[in-house]
A and B are shown apart, each in its own frame.
Chain A
């Protein structure tokens, strides 16, 4: 195939990527959009294989078969609760692929200085994405401690690391010899930087980190596109980069923090919330049933705890019973509920909750005063009124779902321990709050049993 034809096919692929993303604008068309996007990818791959530049296939076939097999089983077998870990690993493999493509581009003859600079960038961004994603995966899967790892002199170390990378990078770009010490230094330091960037970030901030690494994996592909002079890599890479940046921004806004604040300060290290004192009012399943049975509008507010307790299926069952009982049922999802953007929505969709019942924070808050019962399942910070009232709270200013304004609030909680970020939550002592202690799945099943009994 001639160069022109290939580039023409790349344009078609780009159109399909763009149109596919456009269709992701609504759940009704999203699946078709994903299919279109994959057709675009197939076209890009096939025309590349047909190009005259490709002379030998044996390595390609083996490598692609291995990758396809891993991808296939990963996609088939992953549990929806583990999507954050999976996306973290995919970010990482995107990063390392760009690093390797940048590295291999060094073997092209006649690279200009500009090309060498972009090779440096694809190695740097790809390396940071790869090792950073592995650390993020480790934190999410709790292979390593999920809380922020902070040590004395961390900023000095990171500063020195940055200076070292820039120095090695400049020396490498001025004399781009393959396998030189400067080159090795760039690779190794990039990988170390990725680790250093992610370790000081705590578990509750993981949605930001995953989104950011998603953006990096796109930018790494972009840089690799510059390194090998390829349009389609630049177009697709920047679409991914834009997606990651938008999500990062949404996550930061939903926590009322700047990106710099998330990246450079261990969560909760700065302020201690005012201790709230009060009395909790525990109830049992029978009483909860009586209140729910009389309610005409109920909203569920899920958090990561729902995923941990695997309670989404019983929640949906209870939702259906309430609907059959004539109540208006909705599910209010905070943007940072769960460990990645949109995680709760996927879990609820998996449990067969129709997507028109999933509402966003900004939709529910204006009408929360008219909600009879708000049921909080495994969420803490995102419903903590201290974010509105207590200036000393580390989460002060963060937009929350104002469940305390609902007529009655049920909080499902294992026991009276502080939540993930160790914030005291005045919601538990609220006048209209009732605590349903125990495993979320067991508690809801008990209420369902009352409904059926």
Chain B
């Protein structure tokens, strides 16, 4: 039942993702991708659970390595997206 429940979430969020992202204008496709990089850093949640739950040395190391990679995505992704979006401005000043 758990598997079905998770698959249900997957299905709904896929459809929602398609709806939302098809509305993003072409101008913002690069920030969309780097923002998506940041969101895919969500694996950090899984990585933290592996690294910190004391399941032996191997699981801890694997988890720690995953934490490092996922943090690169989270920090780098959000920061570079912000840096790009800050450059988009309307004609008469203002964002």
Contact = CB atoms under 8 A, between A and B. Distances in A.
B47 A346 contact: no
Interface in B1-53: 2-3, 6, 9-10, 13-14, 16-18, 20-53
Nearest to A244: B36
Contact of B68 (A66, A210, A242, A357): A66
A64 B42 contact: no
28 contacts: A24-B31, A27-B27, A27-B88, A30-B85, A37-B38, A57-B52, A60-B51, A60-B52, A63-B64, A63-B65, A67-B67, A71-B76, A71-B79, A93-B70, A94-B73, A97-B73, A217-B37, A233-B46, A239-B17, A246-B18, A341-B26, A341-B29, A341-B30, A341-B32, A345-B27, A345-B28, A349-B87, A357-B91
Nearest to A228: B46
B73 A101 contact: no
B82 A233 contact: no
B32 to A, nearest CB: 6
A80 B53 CA distance: 40
B76 A97 contact: no
B30 A83 contact: yes
Interface stretch (A103-111, A193-201, A374-382, A416-424): A103-111
A335 B26 contact: yes
Range of interface residues on B (Cβ < 8 Å): 35 or more
A96 B72 CA distance: 12
A360 B44 CA distance: 37
Given A21-B20, A37-B78, A67-B72, 5 more contacts: A75-B80, A96-B66, A214-B33, A343-B30, A354-B89
Given A37-B78, A107-B59, A237 B42 contact: yes
Tell me the interface secondary structure of chain A in the complex.
helix
Contacts of B42: 41, 44, 221, 232-233, 236-237
Contacts of B69: 67, 93-94, 96-97, 100
B52 A222 contact: no
Contacts, number: 369
B44 A34 contact: no
Nearest to B2: A229
Contacts of B23: 22, 25
Nearest to A355: B88
Contacts of B64: 59-60, 62-63
A391 to B, nearest CB: 28
A64 B67 CA distance: 6
A240 to B, nearest CB: 4
Contacts of A226: 3, 6, 10
Contact of A247 (B13, B29, B44, B65): B29
A49 B48 contact: yes
A78 B81 CA distance: 12
Contacts of B10: 222, 226, 234, 238
A185 B76 CA distance: 32
Contacts of B43: 94, 97-98, 101, 220-221, 224, 233, 237
